[in-house]
Amino acid sequence: MSVEAEYAPVPIGVTVNGAKHEAVVEPRTLLVYFLREHLGLTGTHVGCDTSQCGACTIQLNGRAVKSCTILAVQANGGQITTVEGLARDGVFHPVQEGFREKHGLQCGYCTPGMIMTAVALLETNPRPTEDEIRHALEGNLCRCTGYVNIVESIRWAAEKMGGKNVSG
Amino acid sequence: MFPASFGYVAAHSVEEALQLLAQHGEDAKLLAGGHSLIPAMKLRLASPRTLIDLGTVPDLSGVRVDGDALAIGALTVHSDVAGSDLVRQHLPGLAEAASMIGDVQVRNRGTIGGSVAHADPGADFPVILTALNASFVLQSSSGKRTVAVDDFFVDFFATAMTANEVLTEIRIPLPTAGSGTAYAKLGHPASGYVVVSAGALIQRRQSGSCVSARVAIGGLGSGPVRAVATEMELQGKPLTPQIIAAAAAKAAEETDPDGDTYASAEYKRHVAAVYARQAIAAAVERAVG
């Protein structure tokens, strides 16, 4: 078998923020690069690139995951939500609004990942305590030391959502 | 960082995965959640020519009671182990260990079978599964065999699995009445990997004395080690705090851990006793009825 045939690109189909996409990808393409470079969705960031920092967090089939540590081919057939998919008809998701209201960001690099993790948290636990919020954010690093306001932003969003799961 | 180029094949059954393994030989690796393998490939510590994806095989994940054991599919993700009602009811120590792995996102993707097959000395599952006397169902083209945990972890990143086998299920005996399980861990503050951890399965009589004890320690060797001296010390004795502490103090006996920049060998031996005591005490607490 030739090298070209052995490492042959693979066809995949994924639904991203409600839109279906078909593509042919090299097997080694990481999901985060597929989203950013093939689909142009640059809201998902590459931070540490070693599954530590969480800047690349997205939802795959309803769960928060780190897209730098998933191959695009593994997402075949999956439902993906990125930060671009949270707003509805020009209205921010309450978590996005909370980050604006409570100044939950400084440089903004970690923000899309923080927001995606927070959205997933509130979907499973609509009334989290501060401890639960902090525990849920263990896989998301902010280097501006902005955790106090990030936690405040998520509390604000939980309150705004009235303990209900209004996203998705 | 990108992995080196490789070929990708999605398997749709265990049989197909076995055929693909036979076809691609030793240059192929099985892919489960990919949370150990993909980082290793990105760092070029691993460069398999072919990945055979088990993520596309149906029925490899989930938790069920099967006879006198809890059977956990190899592709069950950590968050599903931690959140399983069956696991929490019968084996709270296993739920505890699963909930301490990595972070939320990692637990949503990493699998119990992947963790076990990878056999990282800093992993949590090998330690608690040793305490719980788990066994591993390995399927090959010639059939199935079951390997007990005490024979499974053979060295750093090495198990009793052969290159033509697929790990399909982890089986854990349902604890008998009066048993309790627990896991306690000192994790590295940055990576979350085990510095030292302890898992315990304790069965006690209503009178309070110990019927049997299995205690496993992580972080002291190439894989989990049984704290045999601790187990023997507990056997038949009343499970008072003093006796638990005296037994736990022997947790690092006959081990020779390597020190590193974070923890010296002496420190690891010391905290092994501390975490063994915590795990045993918590297991005893749960061993009611």
- How far apart are the C-alpha atoms of B150 and B156, rounded to whole Å? 15
CATH assignment of the domain containing B39: 3.30.43.10
Q: Provide, as residue numbers in chain A, all residues whose Cβ is less than 8 Å from the Cβ of B39.
A: 50-51, 69
B239-244 average pLDDT score: 98
Segment (H or E) for A96: helix A94-101
Of B2, B4, B105, the CB nearest to A65: B105
Q: Is B2 among the domain residues?
A: no
Q: Is B270 among the domain residues?
A: yes
Q: Is B1 among the domain residues?
A: no
Domains and CATH numbers, chain A: 3-85 (3.10.20.30), 94-160 (1.10.150.120)
Q: Judge whether A27 is closer than 8 Å to chain B, CB to CB.
A: yes
- Return the number of other C-beta atoms located less than 10 Å from residue B265's C-beta: 15
B48, B113: one domain: no
SS3 B252: coil
Nearest chain B residue to A72, by CA:
B8
Mutate to test the interface with B, among A34, A59, A65, A138 (most CBs of B within 10 A): A65
The more confident residue out of A28 and A167 is: A28
Per residue in A98-110, pLDDT (tens digit) is 999 999 999 999 9
Tell me the two tokens of residue A139.
């896989």
Q: What's the farthest any 2 CA atoms get from each other in chain B?
A: 62
- Give B162-211 as a DSSP string: -TT-EEEEEEEEPPPTTEEEEEEEEE-TTT--EEEEEEEEEEE-TTSBEE
- How far apart are the C-alpha atoms of A61 and B181, rounded to whole Å? 32
For residues A121-158, b (16+ Cβ closer than 10 Å) or e, as one string?
Answer: bbbeeeebeeeebeebbebbbbeeebbebbbbbbbbbb
Residue B199's closest CA among B105, B122, B277? B277
Q: What is the ipTM of this complex?
A: 0.95
Number of structural domains in chain B: 3
CA B234 to chain centre: 23
Q: Judge whether A120 is closer than 8 Å to chain B, CB to CB.
A: yes
Please report which confidence band the pLDDT of residue A45 belongs to, taking 50, 70 and 90 as the band edges.
Answer: very high
pLDDT at B223 over 60: yes
B97, B118: one domain: yes
Cβ distance A51 to B50 less than 8 Å, yes or no, reads no
B237, B274: one domain: yes
B108, B49: one domain: no
B76, B158: one domain: yes
What mean pLDDT is reported for chain A? 94
Rounded to the nearest angstrom, the minimum Cα separation between B54 and chain A is 10
- How far apart are the C-alpha atoms of A154 and B110, rounded to whole Å? 26
Tell me the two tokens of residue B127.
């330690």
Q: Judge whether A43 is closer than 8 Å to chain B, CB to CB.
A: no
Segment (H or E) for B153: strand B153-155
Residue ending a domain, among B146, B173, B200, is B173
- DSSP letter, residue A55: T
Q: Judge whether A63 is closer than 8 Å to chain B, CB to CB.
A: yes
Per residue in B242-275, pLDDT (tens digit) is 999 999 999 999 899 999 999 999 999 999 999 9
Per-residue pLDDT, A164: 73
**Contact assessment for residue B58 and residue B16, using Cβ atoms and an 8 Å cutoff:** no
Per-residue pLDDT, A6: 73
Of B7, B38, B103, the CB nearest to A8: B7
A25-38 average pLDDT score: 98
Q: Provide, as residue numbers in chain B, all residues whose Cβ is less than 8 Å from the Cβ of A73.
A: 8, 10, 53
Structural domain containing residue B43: 7-53
CATH assignment of the domain containing B167: 3.30.465.10
Per-residue pLDDT, A5: 66
Q: Judge whether A157 is closer than 8 Å to chain B, CB to CB.
A: no
Per-residue pLDDT, A168: 43
B98, B117: one domain: yes
Give the count of alpha carbons within 13 A of A156, CB side only. 19
Q: Provide, as residue numbers in chain B, all residues whose Cβ is less than 8 Å from the Cβ of A66.
A: 105-106, 109
Q: Provide, as residue numbers in chain A, all residues whose Cβ is less than 8 Å from the Cβ of B31.
A: 74
Residue A64's closest CA among A40, A20, A95, A25? A95
- DSSP letter, residue A151: H
Please report which confidence band the pLDDT of residue A163 belongs to, taking 50, 70 and 90 as the band edges.
Answer: confident
Please report which confidence band the pLDDT of residue A2 belongs to, taking 50, 70 and 90 as the band edges.
Answer: low
Tell me the two tokens of residue A92.
């921010």
